[in-house]
């Protein structure tokens, strides 16, 4: 999602409640991306560990 375009659109229309919603959504997306990356790294490490044990 293009957060800056969404912010610009809401600023032009003076939609403060939408700006707060966009900020919260961006924060949550960044947290979820971090969690996903951590899970992917753990999964990769587990596969490597399992491959070494066979």
CB atoms within 10 A of CB 26: 15
Position 22 scores a pLDDT of 92
Query: pTM above 0.85?
Result: no
**Cβ-proximal residues to 16 (8 Å cutoff; 6+ apart), any chain:** 10
**Number of structural domains in the chain:** 1
Expressed as residue numbers, the domain containing 48 is 3-52
Structure tokens at 28: 């949550």
Q: What is the pLDDT along the chain (54 residues), one digit of tens a residue?
A: 588 998 898 888 988 889 999 999 999 999 999 999 999 999 999 998 988 876
């Amino acid at each position: 999602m293009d957060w800056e375009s969404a912010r610009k659109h809401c600023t032009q229309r003076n939609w403060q409640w939408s700006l707060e919603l966009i900020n919260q959504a961006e924060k949550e997306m960044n947290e979820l991306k971090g969690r996903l990356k951590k899970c992917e790294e753990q999964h990769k490490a587990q596969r490597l560990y399992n491959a070494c044990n066979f």
